[in-house]
């Protein structure tokens, strides 16, 4: 069974932040198809602060670290993304409690908690054409693989790749959905035919984590 560490958690968060900054234009262009086009911009502005303040975050525990990230995101990411992503990180922190040593199961717990937080804050669920439509299937695939036993793929790098593959497949599948939440929902059936920007962001982030995890050796 694969395990994870506080340094792994920091690697994941840092990679998410850098991916948001690096893909600002792509995420905004995708959002502009049926939304207001500010998703990439808003996300990048918040995660720029995360990167800039990286060395100052309290690392006394994984939970404390995630709470600090949540605070920055909530304050600095504009639009609806700030509350949603901030809540996701805050709920993720709560899932870890006072743990200092983390396991692969904790990674699943963190993702589940984040998804539940987004559900509650955004009043959305699987099938509404939001980032949940990539996040939840990704989490399901990860949990299934962890519980599969001593599979050769059940290493940190292998699990990261499985999560990324599931996220991409799920994100692509949002193209056939009609948006039920947020500004894209105002366009009705015109939202069908393009993937959800938030779901694609989850996939791109997961793919970069998998790529760079493998490169860590």
- Counting residues of the chain whose pLDDT is more than 70, the rounded percentage is 94
pLDDT at 27: 96
pLDDT at 154 over 70: no
pLDDT at 35: 78
pLDDT at 4: 67
Residue with tokens 């393009």: 194
pLDDT at 2: 53
pLDDT at 152: 47
- What is the total residue count of the chain? 217
- Tokens for 11? 């690697």
CATH number for 3-216 (one of 2.150.10.10, 3.90.79.10, 1.25.40.340, 3.90.1150.10): it is: 1.25.40.340
Confidence of residue 217 (pLDDT cuts 50, 70, 90): low
pLDDT at 214: 83
Q: What is the mean pLDDT of residues 133-160?
A: 86
Per DSSP, the residues of 63-111 read: HHHHHHHHHHHHHHS-TTHHHHHHHHHHHHHHHHTT-SSEEHHHHHHHH
- Tokens for 106? 């904790």
Measured between alpha carbons, how far is 197 from 118 in angstroms, rounded to an integer? 15
Q: What is the mean pLDDT of residues 40-65?
A: 96
Whole-prediction pTM: 0.93
pLDDT in tens, 68-119: 999 999 998 988 889 999 999 999 999 999 999 899 999 999 999 999 999 9
Is the pLDDT higher at 179 or at 169?
A: 169
- The interaxial angle of helices 24-32 and 197-216, nearest 10 deg, is 160
Measured between alpha carbons, how far is 92 from 88 in angstroms, rounded to an integer? 6
pLDDT at 206: 98
The mean predicted confidence, pLDDT, of the chain is 91
pLDDT in tens, 186-210: 677 777 999 999 999 999 999 999 9
């Amino acid at each position: 069974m694969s395990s994870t560490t506080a340094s792994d958690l920091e690697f994941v968060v840092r990679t998410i932040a850098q991916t948001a900054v690096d893909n600002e234009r792509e995420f905004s262009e995708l959002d502009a198809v049926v939304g207001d086009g500010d998703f990439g911009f808003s996300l990048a502005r918040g995660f720029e602060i995360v990167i800039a303040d990286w060395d100052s975050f309290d690392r006394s525990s994984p939970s404390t670290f995630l709470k600090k990230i949540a605070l920055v995101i909530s304050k600095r990411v504009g639009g609806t993304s700030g509350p949603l992503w901030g809540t996701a990180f805050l709920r993720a922190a709560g899932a870890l409690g006072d743990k200092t040593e983390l396991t692969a199961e904790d990674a699943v717990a963190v993702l589940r908690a984040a998804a539940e937080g987004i559900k509650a804050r955004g009043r959305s669920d699987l099938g509404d054409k939001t980032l949940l439509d990539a996040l939840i299937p990704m989490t399901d695939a990860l949990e299934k693989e962890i519980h599969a036993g001593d599979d050769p793929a059940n290493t940190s790098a292998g699990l990261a790749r499985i999560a990324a593959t599931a996220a991409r497949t799920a994100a692509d599948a949002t193209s056939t959905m009609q948006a039920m939440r947020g500004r894209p929902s105002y366009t009705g059936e015109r939202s069908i035919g393009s993937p959800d920007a938030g779901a694609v962001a989850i996939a791109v982030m997961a793919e970069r984590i998998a790529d760079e995890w493998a490169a860590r050796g």
